[in-house]
Amino acid sequence: GVNELRRVTMDEVALHNKRNDCWMVISGNVYNVTHYLDYHPGGKGELMRAAGKDGTDLFNDTHPWVNAEGVLRECMIGFCTGPGALQA
């Protein structure tokens, strides 16, 4: 597709922690969830708890049955690497 997936560090993810510029790591994948915020069934506030962070644990604690990879396919930026990355 049009998506050029790339490697992203946690440091870069951390820069995007605002409601109008919000990235998040879920299971090693980096997503730009800025536009998803308005559609999150659990509300913006809940989703913002993981803004600029690795939200995998919060995600799995809340709704492990949700297919994040499917829901956020068009929002994917790449894969998290470096400090904080899930993959070895």
By Cβ distance, which residue is nearest to ligand HEM? 42
* Residue whose C-alpha is closest to residue 71's, from 38, 36, 43: 36
Interface residue with ligand HEM among 13, 30, 50, 80 (CB under 6 A) is 50
Distant-in-sequence, close-in-space partners of 50: CB < 8 Å, separation ≥ 6: 24, 58, 59
66 binds ligand HEM (CB under 6 A): yes
Contact residues for ligand HEM, defined by CB under 6 A: 24, 26, 33, 40-42, 46-47, 49-50, 55, 58-59, 62-63, 66, 68, 71-72
